[in-house]
Amino acid sequence: MSDLPLVVITGASSGIGAATARAFSAAGHPLLLVARRIEPMLELGLPDTIAVSADVRDTRAVADAIAAAEASFGAIDLLVNNSGLMALSSVVEQDPAKVQEMFDVNCVAPMLISQLVLPGMQARRHGTIVNIGSIAGKAIYGDHTVYNGTKYAVHAMTEGLRRENAPHNVRIILVAPGMIDTDLLSNTGAGDVLAGYLGYKASIGGGLKPADVGEAILAAYQMPQQITLREVVVAPTTQDS
């Protein structure tokens, strides 16, 4: 069993979450991986890893998973709030259920899951929370209105959490990726919005790889506890907006 502390990653079945799991496992950390799809997490084949099928909106299920993982591996030292939903559309055409779901998954769930781990981190005066934001939390893009709103909220809440937890020596880090190759677009239907997004990505030579973001998270975490990289914006060099 590893001597390194436990890391929890939500949305770990694909994309940034799976890549971050690989990076931290390679560095020697035990992991708790949480996502709705269990099979892709098991297929990662990572040692000292507990994978749990749970919706991040089900706080009780996540709390139970955390309790079981801490019983096996000790206290959580890092939470990566990575689960996210991006359904691009003009507001007038947006499915009302997707509006609610984006705010619940992107904004509410990270705060409620953070509530589960912060008391222990504060008591130990040690720990880190990484919230995955987006470059869409810094700039407005066409047909991104609701998604923009969720990510602006994540950025604001991350800064608020940082200020609340600075006196407790607990680090709160925002990681905001730019254009990236993940399956986030699976919730955006075929049409002009999707075509425009993919066209721009092709015009800059493609997006980041999830592993690029996973390594950035690992680098920020591996800084000494007294150093917080408050905000890490990582994007393709050729992305101009």
* Residue pair 62/54 in contact by the 8 Å Cβ criterion: yes
**Which has the closest alpha carbon to 26: 41, 4, 42, 52?**
4
* Residue pair 144/93 in contact by the 8 Å Cβ criterion: no
Which among 147, 152, 197, 221 is annotated as catalytic?
A: 147
* Residue pair 49/31 in contact by the 8 Å Cβ criterion: yes
Q: Cβ contacts of residue 69 below 8 Å, gap of 6+? A: 6, 8, 30, 32, 50, 76
Residue 197 is among the residues annotated as catalytic for this protein: no
Residue showing tokens 């001597």: 3
**Which has the closest alpha carbon to 81: 99, 71, 68, 66?**
66
Distances (CA, A) of 115 to 103, 109, 121, 122, 176: 17, 10, 10, 11, 22
- Residue 99, token pair as written in the block: 């509006």
- Residue 137, token pair as written in the block: 């939390």
**DSSP 8-class letter at 180:** B
- Residue 87, token pair as written in the block: 């359904």
**Which has the closest alpha carbon to 84: 104, 65, 99, 64?**
104
Residues taking part in catalysis: 147
